[in-house]
Amino acid sequence: MTDQTLSQALELTPDDSGGLVARLGTAFSNAPQAMPPEKGAPFGGLMAALAGSAARQGLGIETPLRSLTVQYLAAARFEAVTFTPTLLRGGRNITYAMVAAGQADRPALQALATFGRDVAGPALSPLVAAAVPVGQLESTPLNAMFGPWFTRHIEHRFESGPRLFGLNPPEDPVLRVWMRTTDGAPLDEARLLFLLDGVYPTYWTALPGPPAISASVDLRADLFGDLTPETSPDGWAFFEFRTRDLGGGWAVEDGVAFAPDGRPLAVVRQRRKLLPGR
């Protein structure tokens, strides 16, 4: 299914076992476009978005998603995958859920999700976006030699360019980029989770090429509030990603997402395992 749309990829259909089934197509492969998409696996950001949606849809949760922690147990295959949500504890203000996903005795991921409503109380918002307006930047498609297939569903607009392969100093490996999904839909919960993993590892900007390839081991996203169609009607969000540590075959990277009006939307931390060089 190389022509699968994002809306189709995010669709979950109930099955007789109490789970929800997603159809994973090669359009969202994490393999570079220079290779056949079948050489990769379904994109981790898509899997995270499906896990969050499965908890909400399968358990009938209406309050905003506050946090999602995903462990990627094994690469899923490009076929139907079942997401099974479990209610751990439900209350008026906070709901805890677990999601397991897999295919025919092959576990793909497990996730923990926390949902909760806003209440009156003190407020602080120290995260500030100093972003160049998105309209002043040109669209920058990723180079097909390393840009994965799934990035064809994302529009990237980089501040100061992609900064790849040593253009960033090692003491400040940072990447600042506007992103939206190419369907132009308003930013929603699933699309934000999708985009929080929508760019290459930031350490690529501080190291010389060829890129050191890695696989996502776990990802935690914390969302700050409810997303409505008015948050970003054109789907744009501004992201700032930083490498926090790289060594011993591991990388830890952080990111922050902001709405077009500068309001912080989410933070994300991802641990990656570097793959052996060939």
CA nearest to 42, candidates 60, 30, 54: 30
Residue 264 clears pLDDT 80, i.e. is over it: yes
| 235 part of a folded domain | yes
Residue 200 counted as domain residue: yes
pLDDT score of 2: 65
Residue 35 lies in a domain: yes
- Mean residue pLDDT across the chain: 94
* Number of domains the chain is built from: 1
User: Residue 166 has which token pair?
Assistant: 């040593």
Cα separation of 88 and 108, whole Å? 20
The residues near 74 (Cβ < 8 Å, ≥ 6 apart) are: 106, 107, 108
The residues, ordered by sequence, that sit 6+ positions from 28 with a Cβ below 8 Å of its Cβ are 4, 9, 42, 43, 46, 149, 150, 153
Q: Which two tokens stand for residue 193?
A: 């989770």
Mean pLDDT of the 173-188 span: 97
- Is 49 in contact with 185 (CB distance < 8 Å)? no
Q: Over the stretch 69-121, which tens digit does the pLDDT of each residue have?
A: 999 999 999 999 999 999 999 988 999 999 999 998 899 999 999 999 998 88
Residue 1 pLDDT exceeds 70: no
Q: How many CB atoms lie within 10 A of CB 231?
A: 19
125, part of any domain: no
Residue 20 lies in a domain: yes
Cβ distance 33 to 46 under 8 Å?
A: no
Instruction: Decide if 185 contacts 247 (C-beta within 8 A).
Output: no
124 falls within a domain: no
Q: Which CATH number fits the domain that encloses residue 202?
A: 2.40.160.210
**Segment (H or E) for 192:** helix 189-195
C-alpha distance from residue 21 to each of 8, 10, 37, 46, 54 (Å): 12, 10, 21, 14, 9
Percent of the chain with pLDDT over 70: 99
Quote the domain boundaries for residue 84: 6-118+131-274
Domain assignment present for residue 252? The answer is yes
For residue 2, give the 3-state DSSP assignment. Answer: coil
CA distances, 203 to each of 20, 60, 168, 241 (Å): 36, 39, 9, 10
In a domain, 123, yes or no: no
